[in-house]
Amino acid sequence: MAKSVLTPQATDFPRWYQDVVAKAELADNGPVRGTMVIRPYGYAIWERMQAEIDLRIKAAGVANAYFPLLIPESYLRREAEHVEGFSPELAVVTHGGGKKLEEPVVVRPTSETIINSYFAKWIQSYRDLPLLINQWANVVRWELRPRLFLRTTEFLWQEGHTAHASESDARAFALRILSDVYEDVMTNVLAIPVLTGRKTDNERFAGATTTWTCEAMMRDGKALQMGTSHELGQNFARAFEITYLDEAGQQSYVWQTSWGVSTRLMGALVMVHGDDDGLRLPPRLAPVQVVVVLARADDGADTAAAALAEELRTAGLRVELDLRTDTSFGRRVVDWELKGVPVRLEVGPRDLAQGMVVVARRDTGTKTSVALPGVVGAVTAALDAIHGALLDEASALRRSRTVDAAGLDEAVEAAATGFAVLPMSALGVDGETTLNRAGISIRCIQSADGGLPGSSHDATDDAPLVAVVGRAY
């Protein structure tokens, strides 16, 4: 309806993304290259994500804790593969308290090394297992081609770290986080359909034995890695000497997992649901679910608008009241659309005189006149419908842009506009390298029957495997 202030998606998707992030006031670039300022509206969305994720992490029996930002450089060297993965990305503190430090310290790029050095102290016996810890923190990985939320030198995340008595316990827990926390939040709160599967050895987290991933398709057909859950085997246990006395009185190394999601999810939210008018926030996530917009303040319409807002709040909804009639109604509507508020209640003197208000849905743009006594019911029904509609729309897009490919050439062609599903048997020894040269990566490996495959280090998988390939952010 209202004229857009954004570059259309079809014209230039990356430019559209930048426009939305700026104009919906989600984030700004920081002064140090690659860093970002998360503005209040962006942060309110992130706080809602955090709350939903934190609830599920705690329900899985995990406790939050906090470990230091600064890590001695020597800690990172203890696990060889791990340091190799991170060394080009490190920020190094060489001076502290006005003096050169004896040993440089790094700003944490992730916390496996420091957390595991404490696990070694805290874990003595099988009674201390499983040890299930999470932290919400900032991490720093120097980023050469930064992009707000998607790739930033500093980002916010949660990182879970656990220790278990057996490999099967560790595997089960890594998969529980993948499905009960990550997939559940992404699908049922963010309304983003995700593919779950395992990473190839090439794409696996440095130091992990298996990396499990949730992958989503953005509106331009590209993939975004949404979150990962790693089986670490005994790699860190051996490097940090994390052993326990088992029930038989034997010293054994623990089996571990780590897992994380980050402010990257904000980028996914924009690129999965956003349209040419701005954000479209899924209602279960939105910090503002309903905005009550007063058109003109005549004839007590402001009092009526305030009463409606209060009635909606009492019904348990997150509501904002917009009485700024010194700014034009049209301009405010454009702004609320930019910000993606799922439902707009338009309150004007003429409608009110007839006992009516207008309920406008952000996802479809449809407007319905509703009699005053039915407002709470109509808004609640609209919010429920919007969650389903956004999820269906994203699922339909992914379906329409996913091709079953028989061989590499076909997969490369399909990945120009979306995903290709390729039998692993058709990939061959150099298949992944060939794809990578074409700017395409294997997003995840799945079982041909739709289920999850075994872990990377399993000798065999029961069903034939397929690779989901695409271009990635």
Write out the residues near a copy of itself by the rule CB under 8 A.
28, 30-32, 35-40, 42-44, 46-47, 63-72, 75, 87-98, 104-105, 107, 114, 117-118, 121, 133, 137-138, 140, 142-144, 153-154, 156
Closest to a copy of itself by CB, 96 vs 355, is: 96
Plot region of 81 (φ>0 → left; ψ -120 to 50 → alpha; else → beta): alpha
Q: Are 427 and 469 in contact (CB under 8 A)?
A: no
- Token pair of 123 as six digits: 């874990």
Q: How far is the CB of 313 from a copy of itself (least distance, A)?
A: 15
Kindly tell me which of 129 and 435 has the beta carbon lying closer to a copy of itself. Answer: 129
- Give the H or E element holding residue 379: helix 375-400
Alpha-helical regions (H) of 248-374? 264-273, 301-314, 329-338, 349-353
CB-CB contact of 391 with 366 (8 Å): no
The whole-angstrom separation of Cα 426 and Cα 273 is 34
Residues 6+ apart with CB under 8 A from 200: 432, 442, 445, 467
Backbone angles phi, psi at 315, to 5 degrees: -75, 5
Q: How far is the CB of 98 from a copy of itself (least distance, A)?
A: 5
Q: Return the number of other C-beta atoms located less than 10 Å from residue 60's C-beta.
A: 15
Per the document, the length of the chain is 473
Q: Which residues of 426-465 are buried (b: 16+ CB within 10 A; e: fewer)?
A: ebeeebbeebeebebbbbbbbbeeeebbbbbeeeebeeeb
Least gap, CB of 125 to a copy of itself (angstroms): 12
Q: Which residue has the tokens 């998360």?
A: 38
User: Which CB sits closer to a copy of itself, 153 or 211?
Assistant: 153
Q: State which residue, 93 or 297, has the beta carbon closest to a copy of itself.
A: 93
Residue 194 and residue 186 in contact, taking contact as beta carbons nearer than 8 Å: yes
Return the number of the residue (160 or 233) whose C-beta is nearest a copy of itself.
160
**Spatial CA neighbour of 107 closest among 49, 154, 172:** 154
**Within a 10 A sphere around the Cβ of 388, how many other Cβ atoms?**
13
At residue 266's C-alpha, the angle toward residues 293 and 315, to 5°, is: 40
Is the Cβ–Cβ distance between 338 and 281 less than 8 Å?
Answer: no
Name residue, tokens 């004229």. 3
Compute the least distance from the CB of residue 292 to a copy of itself, in Å: 19
**Minimum distance, C-beta of residue 138 to a copy of itself, in the bound complex (Å):** 6
Name the minimum Å distance from CB 343 to a copy of itself.
22
Q: Give the SS3 label for residue 408.
A: helix
Least Å from the CB of residue 115 to a copy of itself: 9
Q: What is the smallest separation between the CB atom of 192 and a copy of itself, expressed in angstroms?
A: 22
Q: Is there a contact between 131 and 115 (Cβ–Cβ < 8 Å)?
A: no
Question: Which residue lies nearer to a copy of itself by CB, 90 or 391?
Answer: 90
To a copy of itself, the closest distance from the beta carbon of 93 in angstroms equals 5
Burial label, 116 (beta-carbon count in 10 A; 0-12, 13-18, 19+): buried
64 vs 369, which CB is nearer to a copy of itself? 64
- Rounded least distance, CB 65 to a copy of itself, Å: 5
Q: Which is nearer to a copy of itself, 103 or 429 (CB)?
A: 103
Q: Cβ of residue 471: shortest distance to a copy of itself, in angstroms?
A: 24
Query: Measured from the CB atom, is 181 or 445 closer to a copy of itself?
Result: 181
User: Residue 154 or 215: which CB sits closer to a copy of itself?
Assistant: 154
- What is the three-class DSSP state of 49? helix
Q: Which is nearer to a copy of itself, 42 or 193 (CB)?
A: 42
